[in-house]
Amino acid sequence: MKNFLSIHDVEDLNNLITGGIIAKRNPFADQLLGKNKTIGLLFFNSSLRTRLSTQKAAQNLGLNVMMMNVGQDSWGLELEEGVVMNGDKAEHVKEAAAVIGRYCDIIAIRSFAELKDREKDYAEHIFQQFKKYSGRPVVNLESATRHPLQSLADCITIEEFRTKQRPKVVLTWLPHFKPLPQAVANSFCEWMNHMDVELVVTHPEGYDLAPEFVGKAQVIYDQKKALEGADFVYGKNWSSYQHYGQVLTQDYSWMIDEAKMALTDNGKFMHCLPVRRNMKVADEILDGHRSLVIDQAANREWSAQAVLKEILVGQLEE
């Protein structure tokens, strides 16, 4: 593997999932693979899981880790090409990426959607710039449109907890008053489309995700109908894609509680975290036997380790 920006960089999904499960059983089997190499973790936005699990995975592989909150620890980065830099950004991404590329063997980046200009967000400009100007492999720690390390951890979790060959997986929109990106939902759909599952997506009208991510999933606007017989219920809020970045409704009747989960087939509840309790999901679910959210978060370490291992192996073969 060269870069890890989306599922399109994955050669064999089953191998990658197995790689995560093997890393979980024996975390230090490859502790010499990253020796004398350095990974840079660049955060343009907040993080708990991504930051700690990626650092841990890198350390398990023997990598040195450098971490930076871009714009807070460092200079603010200008991303537009050809502009007169007389604003608040002191450094251009062209120099910054090239310099970081000299210090690091792998560069991992978190940069959320701004939710103002859909075309701009969906072009994933900053990831392309870092790829181009650093000359190093780039790993997506959540971009404007995708969160592939989360999706891989979700695949590992479903693989571990499924009781059927072809489980029913329902992605449900949850209420929130703030506009959140579509990245986690997009990515989850994209990866589930490559798994042997029956995928259903449910949300209020106006919240349809981009068709290229929905793929062959069935879209049902009636949440209760969608939940019937589900084995896994994956909750996430996202803002509108059509009316880009807008909160069209804050319909709190979309919250997941035990009455909703009772419609499932002994279904498990999944969420990438962080989650707002009793607004998106009731305490009784998060504190009960149905919740897989901590197992999912734990699997972030193994998804990151599987991906970093493939990139390091790829560098050895160059």
Site for ligand CP in 61-120 (CB under 6 A): none
For ligand CP, the closer of residues 168 and 239 by Cβ is 239
- From the list ligand AN0, ligand CP, none, partner contacted by residue 48 (C-beta under 5 to 8 A by kind): ligand CP
The total of other beta-carbon atoms located within 10 Å of residue 99's CB is 13
Residue 181, contacted partner among ligand AN0, ligand CP, none, CB below 5-8 A by kind: ligand AN0
Among residues 219, 273, 279, 298, which is the contact residue for ligand CP, using CB under 6 A?
A: 273
Instruction: Give DSSP secondary structure letters for 164-222.
Output: SSS-EEEEEE---SS---SHHHHHHHHHHTTSSSEEEEE--TT-PPPHHHHTTPEE-S-
Count of residues touching ligand AN0 (by CB under 6 A): 6
Dihedral sign from CA coordinates of 152, 122, 66, 68: negative
Q: Which is closer to ligand CP, CB of 49 or CB of 92?
A: 49
Retrieve residue 175's tokens: 């209420």
Q: What is each CA distance from 200 to 97, 214, 260, 291, in whole angstroms?
A: 40, 9, 15, 19
Nearer to ligand CP, 142 or 231 (CB): 142
What amino acid is encoded at 91 in this protein? Answer: E
* Integer Cα distance of 119 and 229 in angstroms: 37
Specify whether the CB–CB gap between 18 and 309 falls below 8 A: no
Q: Which of residues 183-222 bind ligand AN0 (CB under 6 A)?
A: 183-184
Does 174 bind ligand AN0 (CB under 6 A)? Our answer is no
Shortest Å distance, C-beta 290 to ligand AN0: 21
Please, what is the minimum distance in Å from the beta carbon of residue 151 to ligand AN0? 11
How many angstroms separate the CA atoms of 276 and 278, rounded?
7
Residue 180 in the binding site for ligand AN0 (CB under 6 A) = yes
Residue 192 C-beta: closest distance to ligand AN0, Å: 17
- Judged by beta carbon, residue 109 or residue 226, the one nearer ligand CP is 109
> Which of 134/143 has CB closer to ligand CP?
143
Contacts of 72 (CB under 8 A, 6+ apart): none
> In whole angstroms, how close is the CB of 12 to ligand AN0 at the nearest point?
26
Of 223, 292, 235, the residue nearest 263 (C-alpha):
223
Q: Which of 274, 283, 288, 313 binds ligand AN0 (CB under 6 A)?
A: 274
- Residue 145, phi then psi, degrees to nearest 5: -115, -10
Q: What is the DSSP letter of 76?
A: P
Which of these, 181, 174, 175, lies nearest to 140 by C-alpha position?
A: 181
**Which region among 86-94, 180-188, 220-228, 281-289 touches ligand AN0 (by CB under 6 A)?**
180-188
Question: Within 10 A of 290 (CB to CB), how many other CB atoms are there?
Answer: 19
To the nearest whole angstrom, how small is the minimum distance from the Cβ of residue 178 to ligand AN0? 7
Cα separation, 23 vs 297, in Å, equals 15
Residue 63 interaction partner, one of ligand CP, ligand AN0, none, beta carbon < 5-8 Å per kind: none
Confirm or reject binding of residue 267 to ligand AN0 (CB under 6 A).
no
Q: Which does 180 bind (CB under 5 to 8 A by kind): ligand CP, ligand AN0, none?
A: ligand AN0
Q: Does residue 49 belong to the site contacting ligand CP (CB under 6 A)?
A: yes
| Interacting residues toward ligand CP by CB under 6 A | 47-51, 142, 150, 272-274
